[in-house]
Amino acid sequence: MNAMDTPEARELSYAEAIREAMDIALESDPRVVLMGEDIGVYGGAFQVTGDLVHKYGTDRVMDTPISELGGAGVAVGAALTGLRPIFEFQFSDFAALAMEQIVNQAAKLRYMLGGAVSVPLVMRFPAGSGTGAAAQHSQSIEAWLAHVPGLKVVQPSTPEDAKGLLLAALEDPDPVMIFEHKILYKSKGLVPAGHYTTPIGKAAIRRAGTDLTIVATSIMVHKALAAAETLAAEGIEAEVIDLRTVRPMDRETVLASVRKTGRLLCVYEGVKTLGVGAEVSAMVAESDAFDFLDAPIVRLGGAECPIPYNPDLEKAVVPQVPGILDAARALAKGRI
């Protein structure tokens, strides 16, 4: 069922929408289990799982030891034996400790066993900067995992999609990595009641425009939309595409927009080099949409450095609205 088909939309926070999705899944499917550090009585590092342990018990909502490698391995094994685990990393950065299980096991076992098994595993990654958590707790590593065949990688930017993409991920036979920006947890939006899914691999056009295309991910969608409002007042109509899924990427929506506008700006929080915007740029450059470009493609990504602790420096190393405005104006006015 699609979100548009469900009534009774209510305003929920991004975190509440994720919790509601997990609640629906736990109630409707006995195969679904939650795993992660401090997700039980404590409710999760960002309080996303909340009191689900009291409703479903410790057999369904399981605290794992402080070992990301061990916990991820248990989740992969559980998926192989017929469960539908949702594994939460306290911070996406900690996935570095579990790469063996994510990259060499979850992503490859279906292929290596000739399709005889699947790994229906969902992993949740609280990601991104803006909380003053410094270099080891603030990275955006979605491009790392999107580089691995066998993994699907999504970045919901709204509460509605946070719920719908999680429920879609639970129906997928392959591992789905969900990157949830920590700053978005308290953001609010209308969320349909009940069960619905947001399609994996389909982008959303958040704002229509004719003068340039801005392809953004996660929290950068909101910054792009804020910039687009200012641009509109100046007579520049930007089309804002929320990529939603990094892998598989929605090629057709992006290319159709570029053919229409003739200009492309990619905005993402991960480090600029080899980031999501690099793949979007290459996708356009290798297609017929390249012939429609009236200006070079521009990428705005994170700076080539770890995320600083100082709040002013932290803001300076990832794209912000003023930088998006400067790049969009230059593109639209032919200064690039």
Inter-residue contact 265 to 217 (CB < 8 Å): no
Check 16, 20, 68, 142 and give the catalytic one: 68
Of 312, 308, 284, the closest CA to residue 296 belongs to 284
- Kindly write down the DSSP assignment for every residue of 175-213, as one continuous string: -EEEEEEGGGGG-EEEE-SS--BPPTT--EEEE--SSEE
Q: Rounded to whole angstroms, how far apart are CA atoms 9 and 183?
A: 23
Catalytic residue among 37, 137, 142, 239: 137
Q: Provide the 10 A C-beta neighbour count for residue 252.
A: 11
Closest CA to 302 of 273, 270, 266: 270
Catalytic, 137? Answer yes
Q: Residue type at 197?
A: T
Determine how many CB atoms are found less than 10 A away from the CB of residue 8. Answer: 8
Cβ-based neighbour number of residue 15 at 10 Å: 24
Q: What CA–CA distance (Å, rounded) separates 269 from 143?
A: 11
Residue 34: both structure tokens together: 């939650």
- ∠ CA 252-205-185, nearest 5°, is 120
Instruction: Give the count of beta carbons closer than 10 Å to the beta carbon of residue 57.
Output: 11
Beta bridge partners of 302: 271
E strands, 128-165, in order:
152-154
Query: Does an H or E element contain 95, and which?
Result: none
d(CA 191, CA 122): 21
Q: Residues near 65 by Cβ (< 8 Å), separated by ≥ 6?
A: 37, 71
Catalytic-residue membership of 195: no
In the Cβ-directed half-sphere of 202, how many Cα atoms lie within 13 Å? 10
Active site residues: 68, 137
